């Protein structure tokens, strides 16, 4: 999971420590 978060952080420039970033990530996964 850490690797996945790191990839998202690098790709989208998000900070995984921010709840909003995790929300956006989860939202994108659900939207697919």
d(CA 29, CA 1): 14
Residue 8: the pLDDT is 72
Whole-model pTM: value is 0.32
Residue 24: the pLDDT is 61
Residue 26: the pLDDT is 58
Residue 1: the pLDDT is 65
- Classify residue 32 by its DSSP letter: -
pLDDT digits (tens, 9 = 90+) for 6-31: 777 777 766 656 656 566 655 555 55
């Amino acid at each position: 999971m850490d690797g996945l978060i790191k990839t998202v952080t690098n790709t989208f420039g998000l900070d995984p420590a921010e709840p909003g970033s995790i929300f956006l990530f989860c939202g994108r996964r659900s939207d697919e």
